[in-house]
């Protein structure tokens, strides 16, 4: 998980919570949409290519943001991470069922992003086996986090929702570390 990816998801969420508390739903949603689009553009520029998976966050920020504005309820915007997590789990599961674990398919792309002296590490047979396991195991934390965020969106304040949303990163990172060490 890259720093850019984390910024693409964290910055718009924090901006939404702060702007919603200070200036209202409309300002919060619009600011989050603009920041999400800017972060996507920065990621595209840094990677040097269009990443369709990276488009998931901004598209759902826009779609669910406009639904929230139209219906004047923040709950739809707050469900963006739930939708993204469920779609991520389904994407991983679909590739897993098809016998082509997604992280194994992404390994060459990720390998192109590492310094030249480390090329080939991510596409070694050992790492590909770990990526295959990780592709399978990550389905479950995505689904658990989706349920947790949905609960927070429905029952808790914006700040609790942001905290629960952000707690997904240590959950996912911990899963990655465990699988890479033990797997």
Q: Coil, strand, or helix at residue 22? A: helix
- The one-character DSSP state at 99 is T
Backbone angles phi, psi at 158, to 5 degrees: -55, -40
Rounded Cα gap, residues 170 and 175, in angstroms: 8
Amino acid 55: pLDDT: 75
What mean pLDDT, rounded, does the chain reach?
Answer: 88
Cα 77 off chain centre by: 15
63 and 98 both lie in a single domain: no
Query: What does the block give as tokens for 127?
Result: 């790492």
Both tokens assigned to 12:
């718009």
pTM of the model: 0.82
Nearest of 18, 37, 59, 65 to residue 161 by alpha carbon: 18
95 and 69 within one domain: no
Using DSSP, state whether 79 is helix, strand or coil: coil
> Whole domain around residue 121: which residue ranges?
79-183
Q: What is the token pair recorded at 48?
A: 């040097």
Place of tokens 């369709």: 52
| pLDDT band for position 1 (cuts 50, 70, 90) | very low
Structural domains in the chain (count)? 2
Higher-pLDDT residue of 51 and 109 is: 109
Integer Cα distance of 13 and 67 in angstroms:
17
Please check whether residues 3 and 84 belong to one and the same domain.
no
Residues 113 and 24 grouped into a single domain: no
Mean pLDDT of 153-180: 92
Same domain, 73 and 113: no
Percent of the chain with pLDDT over 70: 91
pLDDT of amino acid 57: 75
- Asked whether the beta carbons of 138 and 172 are under 8 A apart, the reply is yes
Q: Are residues 70 and 124 in the same domain?
A: no
* Res 53: pLDDT: 66
What's the pLDDT at 151? 97
Cα 179 from Cα 156, distance rounded (Å): 32
Element at 54 (helix H, strand E) = none
Report how far Cα 178 is from the mean position of its chain's Cα atoms: 19
**Same domain for 46 and 84?**
no
Residue 51's pLDDT band (cuts 50, 70, 90): low
């Amino acid at each position: 998980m890259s720093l850019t990816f984390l910024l693409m998801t964290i910055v718009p969420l924090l901006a939404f919570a702060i702007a919603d508390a200070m200036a209202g739903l409309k300002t919060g949603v619009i600011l989050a949409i603009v920041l999400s689009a800017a972060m996507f553009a920065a990621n595209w520029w840094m990677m040097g290519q269009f990443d369709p998976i990276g488009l998931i966050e901004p598209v759902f920020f826009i779609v669910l943001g406009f639904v929230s504005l139209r219906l004047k309820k923040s709950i739809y915007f707050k469900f963006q991470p739930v939708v993204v997590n469920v779609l991520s789990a389904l994407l991983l599961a679909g590739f897993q069922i098809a016998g082509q674990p997604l992280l194994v398919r992404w390994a060459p792309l990720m390998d192109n992003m590492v310094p030249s002296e480390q090329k080939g590490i991510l596409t070694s047979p050992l790492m590909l086996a770990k990526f295959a396991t990780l592709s399978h195991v990550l389905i479950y934390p995505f689904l658990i986090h989706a349920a947790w965020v949905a609960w927070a969106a429905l029952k808790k304040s914006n700040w609790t929702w942001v905290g629960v949303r952000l707690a997904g990163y240590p959950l996912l990172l911990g899963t990655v570390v465990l699988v890479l060490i033990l797997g």
